[in-house]
Amino acid sequence: MASKLRTCFVCWNLSGFNCVNLSNGNGRIVRVSFPASCKMRHRTTLSSLQHKRQQIKPSTEVGLRQNKDEEEDSEVSSNNDDSVDNTNETKDSVDNTNETEEPLVININGAELAKQLSGKQREDLLGMIRNAEKNILLLNQARVRALEDLEKILAEKDALQGEINALEARLAETDARIKAAAQEKIRVELLEQQLEKLRNELAEKGGTEARYEELRDLQNGDLRDANPLSNKGIIHSLTEELNSLRTENASMKNDLESFKTHISVVKNDDERLVALEKERSSLESALKDLESKLCSQEDVSKLSILTVECKDLSGKVENLQSLLDKATKQADQAVIVLQQNQDLRRKVDELETSLEEANIHKLSSDQLQKYSELMKQKINVLEERLQKSDEELNSYIQLYQKSVKEFQDTLDTLKEQSKRKALEEPVEDMPWEFWSQLLLLIDGWGIEKKISVDDASLLREKVWRRDRRISETYMAYKKQSEPEAISAFLGLLSSETSQGLHVIHIAAEMAPVAKVGGLGDVVSGLGKALQKKGHLVEIVLPKYDCMEYDRVCNLRAPLYWEIFVHKGLNSARICFTCHNFEYQGTAAASELDSCGLVSQNLNKSDKMQDNSARDRVNSVKGGIVFSNIVTTVSPTYAQEVRTAEGGHGLHSTLSSHSRKFVGILNGIDTDAWNPATDAFLPVQYNATDLQGKVENKQALRRKLGLSSADIRRPLVACITRLVPQKGVHLIRHAIYLTFELGGQFVLLGSSPVPHIQKEFEGIANHFQNHDHVRLILKYDESLSHAIYAASDMFIIPSIFEPCGLTQMISMRYGAIPIVRKTGGLNDSVFDVDDDTIPSQFRNGFTFVNPDEQGLNGALVRALNLFKNNPERWKQLVQKDMNIDFSWETSSAEYEDLYLKSVARAKAAKRA
């Protein structure tokens, strides 16, 4: 064995090892490395270290590849030593590796090697070689870990630098706001001086009786139709208002003093930022020192210390960020104070104008009383006429609604007839070879007894008639498996011979019997759509105490697989639709026993056992496992829930049942949500006549007490449950941003989360009497219709949204949606500025990241288009109102799933 020893071991540039050159008897030199010390150090050349410093993100694979290249180079060098003189070169290299330890060099020729190495020595030699290989592996792993730590440190350094740059920019912005506030303070002082002067003039006018008598003489005569207030009363009211304004000025002085105090705090923050910058510089120098010492293994332990220092610095940066945010809020308060000052100046101007008018115009109290009585009479006459007009208008509306319904029914009938006629027409554009191949396929299924003789005969008859449906089915399932294709073909026969499906929906709610959210609308809308297609539809609901029983007849409930399937109900198919995978209905496994089930049989990993707790069962998982079809409410959400983040623990279950899982976008009930017939609206309107939308906007402003001075001021609305899923932090940001950009904002909704409800109650109180912002923290069905009709834009910044109905309803009413690209929002709203999407599908404004910056971009673009290009905005509104979001398309997809599932069941039963 000693004569055939050819093992070649490479030193990998390590110091602390002694090398032995052994001859194998054939003139080859075998180089073996023995561990001479328990300490292992890296030997890294200066050029390689500089190369690593240039890489911001060093790759572990690169390091391993370099080590492999060094090993191959050393092996080639060792195998090419054909003379004994190379032994001296090797000895010199060994002497250079460690000056403190005496290297051991043994030259043994091939003849002596077999004599001197006994079996035990050979085993010891191989053991030392294995130990050396293990040491090399450990050293390489330590080297990789050091590179990874360096990568993290460099990444943290870049992140800290970015945060510091952002803080510096925000600090500069704060300084600019402080300067603006100082200038505004000067304007306030000047305004106060003007108020004092005005008060002095009013005092002089009030104290001079002779001038008042002269003024009264001048006002007798031609001013009978003027202001009914007396001059003395006006002066008194103006004096009181000026006193109140003076009090407000005093309070504003106090606010300015407090703002000066906040400014000093901001300056202190600036000094802290300078100190933090110095600490950052010291950290950079420490990092450079660390890189220079990285070649030594002893310094690797210092990486953890540096990581702790980086964490401390990150904490300091966060503290500084919070201080800067506080300063920014204070600056925002200063801006509000300045705006209040501007409002105060406007009021002073109005007071001066009214004072001048009061000095010119006056009416006697008798004339005012006569005028008031006359106006009351006119108002009574107008109210009587208006009441009669309303009665006539309601009768016309009822007739119109009836005619619209009849027209819609007739139109639906014509559409259905046209659709059937198109399906019954033969296909003439397919060559005879196509039909011949289809006949051969059907004959083959019949011969192999995969389909019955009668079914084969019926399918052949369709081929001879060149039926369009059979050709489309063949093309659709041409590349699918044979059982799926057979089920599809048999589905054609079952759809002709059957009178329709018997569909039973088992749901938690249904509008209007028992409704909490969008699920109730979906159950009702889909049920109506399937009924129109000729199917028998029944709804199974929990028997709630609050249910409107007067709307329900024939109350009758569904442990299908465990109980009813054994009683002969084995031909039905089950479709499970999950609207939100965040809510999974987990419970203790023992609770299944109370339902008449055996918990031991169902509490298994492949059945109902929760994926994160073995002693609990998961109702949603059970629905996925035991259903023939699993759907969710949009195609995008169907993809999102297959990830660990979106599936909330069920992504693995969905992946294992992916063949039966599909996403179908929800629709809306276009009869209930129709601006042309909506009885909740003051004025009905449609896409061709948008004047009614303008009138609804004015009516909502009057109802909520918003300013109507500028009819072109955009109105942004939001109707939602205030829960984290809906992006409440972005909704809050949108309220303030809309006001700052010159728009109005209306929010309708409440929160089941106490701290969120309390937060928005504070915002609502802050804007209680504001001209442009109103928050209604409850749900009001009639008010929701009015808001949809009045708003110009509708904001939906959801963190995740399985489908969403509000964006469809808002477009139906001509409110352009501003949404985050997620779930059903991504499937129904497409950005108007996205050139990758055909122009006919662009219908709103979208953003990707769920942060304030993403929302800012979309909202600013929407407001700019509304203000700067009214004609394009009108075209966008009309296009959105004409989009078909009815249940027609979605119900057809559900119907197709039902029919295919039933056909597969029948085919399996025949087989």
Over residues 451-499, the pLDDT tens digits come to 888 788 888 888 877 787 888 888 887 777 888 888 888 877 765 544 5
Contact present, 108 and 29 (Cβ < 8 Å): no
More confident residue, 734 or 258: 734
d(CA 690, CA 696): 10
Question: Which segments of 743-851 does DSSP mark as H helices, in order?
Answer: 754-766, 781-790, 806-812, 823-828
Decide if 559 is inside a domain. no
Reported as a pLDDT band with limits 50, 70 and 90, residue 517 is: confident
d(CA 508, CA 200): 72
Decide if 641 is inside a domain. no
CATH code for the domain of 759: 3.40.50.2000
- Domain boundary pick from 390, 424, 458: 424
- Note the pLDDT tens digit of each residue in 790-846: 999 999 999 999 999 999 999 999 999 999 999 999 999 999 999 999 999 999 999
Decide if 456 is inside a domain. no
Claim to verify: residue 134 and residue 60 sit in the same structural domain: yes
Question: 3-class SS at 859?
Answer: helix
Claim to verify: residue 282 and residue 160 sit in the same structural domain: no
Decide if 568 is inside a domain. no
d(CA 224, CA 246): 34
Decide if 510 is inside a domain. no
For the chain, give the mean pLDDT. Answer: 75
Claim to verify: residue 116 and residue 260 sit in the same structural domain: no
Q: What is the pTM of this model?
A: 0.48
Decide if 303 is inside a domain. yes
Claim to verify: residue 238 and residue 321 sit in the same structural domain: yes
Claim to verify: residue 720 and residue 858 sit in the same structural domain: yes
Claim to verify: residue 157 and residue 24 sit in the same structural domain: yes
- Note the pLDDT tens digit of each residue in 128-168: 888 887 888 887 888 788 778 778 887 877 777 777 777 77
Find tokens 């989360």 and name the residue: 753
For the chain, the domain total comes to 3
- Note the pLDDT tens digit of each residue in 282-321: 666 666 665 565 544 444 555 556 566 666 666 666 666 6
Claim to verify: residue 293 and residue 375 sit in the same structural domain: yes
Find tokens 């109902």 and name the residue: 608
Find tokens 């997620």 and name the residue: 822
What's CA 231's distance to the chain center, in Å? 61
Per the structure, the complete domain to which residue 71 belongs is given by 2-173
Listed residue (814, 628, 815) closest to 717, CA to CA: 815
Element of type H or E holding 557:
none
Contact present, 533 and 895 (Cβ < 8 Å): yes
Claim to verify: residue 702 and residue 825 sit in the same structural domain: yes
Claim to verify: residue 17 and residue 166 sit in the same structural domain: yes
- Domain boundary pick from 173, 188, 203: 173
Claim to verify: residue 154 and residue 284 sit in the same structural domain: no
Claim to verify: residue 143 and residue 232 sit in the same structural domain: no
- Domain boundary pick from 354, 389, 424: 424
Contact present, 22 and 32 (Cβ < 8 Å): yes
Claim to verify: residue 126 and residue 246 sit in the same structural domain: no
Decide if 497 is inside a domain. no
Decide if 841 is inside a domain. yes
